[in-house]
């Protein structure tokens, strides 16, 4: 058991938001990392963190809630920075911190499309972490760098797509997402707009869902990502579910596959993280559910402590080859847990000393 002095000091940016608070909850009992610095907007700087959190956050250990929120303009000491900032602030702040030598692991979209930045899902494309090498001279800070995790809907979708792409070759993906309220951050949509309703539009979301899977499932060739050769068509909707993004998916393959073969490939998925001892490793990465009315957010989003992606309703598609439903916890697999797993892989690969 490590003493606090042996643990890696971590700064959490955007600590007062939906993702930030989930990060703090997961970090409260993390065996490798300890929170030493927190920051949010200028509105929060100088305040006690506990005074700016929701009810669940205020119940976190005093070692966390008693920390004073810094300004993003301050210098940070923690070598590892976990960012849950809005994308527009992330663009400037994350680059500056990478330049100051920090390893920044980000939930924001600011650098996801950047050719030198890994868009990482450790149980899908761990080799993309090598892109960090391309950043060595980019920020001027020696050991600094930026790693991102995908959009919260893509985070679950791509775990289901990865083994299918490897086995059958994806040609096209048509996806409709049913995204939870917590995906919109604080304060989120007004209750009066959501109850008894579905909102068939989420700003900037469809573009991410159509673009990010191709980078994640792309190959790393001579130090650069070559995007995977399939197309994605996405419709993104907001539904009155608290946590857990559901996606209705249909896919066409290079080679036809029967529903039983799709089930088998998903069930046989072997995580490349097995044996690395990463504390947040999904156990398992994918759970295939046989009941005809699963997955459901309330029943299945917490599988594997929120890191398991559940897949069900696997069937023949009468337009493409196969249809299925994917569910993942947007705040854990889609954000805080994803960022922690990225940081853990970076540590295991020697990007940060333990």
Ligand X SMILES: NC(=O)c1ccc[n+]([C@@H]2O[C@H](COP(=O)([O-])OP(=O)(O)OC[C@H]3O[C@@H](n4cnc5c(N)ncnc54)[C@H](OP(=O)(O)O)[C@@H]3O)[C@@H](O)[C@H]2O)c1
Binding site for ligand X (CB under 6 A): 14-20, 40-41, 43-44, 52, 72, 84-87, 89, 107-109, 152, 182-183, 185-186, 330-331, 334-335
Q: At what angle do helices 18-27 and 337-348 cross, to 10 degrees?
A: 50
128 labelled catalytic = no
Kindly state the smallest distance separating residue 18's Cβ from ligand X, in Å. 4
Task: Rank residues 65 and 314 by Cβ distance to ligand X and give the closer one.
Answer: 65
Using CA atoms, how far apart are residues 234 and 49, in angstroms rounded to an integer? 38
CB 47 within 8 A of CB 79: no
CB 150 within 8 A of CB 212: yes
Task: Rank residues 43 and 298 by Cβ distance to ligand X and give the closer one.
Answer: 43
Task: Rank residues 60 and 84 by Cβ distance to ligand X and give the closer one.
Answer: 84
Task: Rank residues 148 and 285 by Cβ distance to ligand X and give the closer one.
Answer: 148
Catalytic: which of 128, 152, 321, 329? 152
245 labelled catalytic = yes
CB 302 within 8 A of CB 82: no
Which residues, at least 6 apart from 221, have a Cβ–Cβ distance to it below 8 Å? Answer: none
Using CA atoms, how far apart are residues 156 and 154, in angstroms rounded to an integer? 5
Using CA atoms, how far apart are residues 84 and 295, in angstroms rounded to an integer? 28
Kindly state the smallest distance separating residue 244's Cβ from ligand X, in Å. 10
Kindly state the smallest distance separating residue 101's Cβ from ligand X, in Å. 21
Q: Which residues of 184-193 are buried (b: 16+ CB within 10 A; e: fewer)?
A: beeeeeeeee
Kindly state the smallest distance separating residue 89's Cβ from ligand X, in Å. 4
Q: What is the dihedral of CA 150, 154, 159, 164, to 10 degrees?
A: -130
Using CA atoms, how far apart are residues 117 and 138, in angstroms rounded to an integer? 11
Closest Cα partner for 208 from 336, 75, 108?
108
DSSP state of 71: P
Position of minimal CB gap to ligand X:
17
Bridging pattern class, strands 231-238 and 145-148: unpaired
Kindly state the smallest distance separating residue 123's Cβ from ligand X, in Å. 17
Task: Rank residues 308 and 330 by Cβ distance to ligand X and give the closer one.
Answer: 330
Kindly state the smallest distance separating residue 26's Cβ from ligand X, in Å. 14
Alpha helix ranges (H) inside the chain: 18-27, 55-58, 62-65, 87-99, 152-168, 191-194, 205-216, 259-267, 297-300, 337-348
Task: Rank residues 23 and 162 by Cβ distance to ligand X and give the closer one.
Answer: 23
- Give catalytic residue positions: 152, 245
């Amino acid at each position: 058991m490590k003493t606090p002095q042996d643990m890696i000091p971590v700064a959490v940016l955007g600590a007062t938001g939906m993702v930030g608070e989930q990060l703090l909850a997961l970090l409260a009992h993390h065996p490798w990392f300890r929170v030493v610095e927190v920051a949010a907007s200028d509105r929060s700087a100088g305040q006690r963190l506990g005074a700016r959190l929701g009810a669940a956050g205020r119940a976190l250990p005093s070692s966390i809630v008693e920390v004073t929120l810094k300004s993003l303009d301050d210098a940070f000491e923690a070598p590892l920075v976990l960012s849950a900032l809005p994308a527009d602030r992330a663009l400037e702040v994350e680059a500056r911190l990478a330049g100051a030598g920090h390893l920044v692991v980000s939930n924001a979209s600011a650098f996801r499309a950047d050719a030198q930045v890994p868009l990482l899902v450790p149980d899908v494309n761990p080799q993309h972490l090598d892109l960090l090498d391309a950043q060595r001279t980019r920020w001027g800070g020696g050991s600094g760098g930026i790693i991102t995790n995908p959009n919260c809907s893509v985070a679950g979708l791509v775990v289901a797509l990865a083994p299918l792409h490897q086995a059958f070759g994806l040609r096209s993906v048509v996806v409709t997402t049913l995204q939870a309220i917590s995906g919109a951050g604080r304060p989120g949509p007004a209750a009066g707009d959501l109850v008894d309703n579905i909102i068939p539009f989420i700003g900037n979301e469809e573009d991410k869902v159509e673009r990010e899977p191709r980078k994640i499932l792309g190959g790393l060739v001579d130090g650069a990502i070559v995007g995977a050769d399939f197309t994605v068509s996405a419709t993104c909707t907001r539904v009155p579910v608290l946590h857990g993004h559901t996606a209705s998916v249909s896919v066409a393959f290079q080679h036809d596959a029967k529903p039983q073969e799709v089930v088998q490939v998903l069930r046989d998925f072997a995580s490349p993280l097995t044996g690395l001892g990463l504390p947040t490793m999904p156990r398992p990465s994918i759970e295939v559910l046989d009941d005809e009315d699963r997955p459901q957010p309330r029943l299945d989003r917490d599988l594997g402590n929120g890191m398991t992606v559940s897949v069900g309703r696997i069937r023949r598609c009468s337009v493409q080859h196969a249809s299925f439903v994917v569910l993942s916890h947007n705040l854990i697999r889609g954000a805080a847990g994803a960022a922690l797993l990225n940081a853990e892989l970076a540590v295991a690969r020697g990007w940060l000393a333990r």
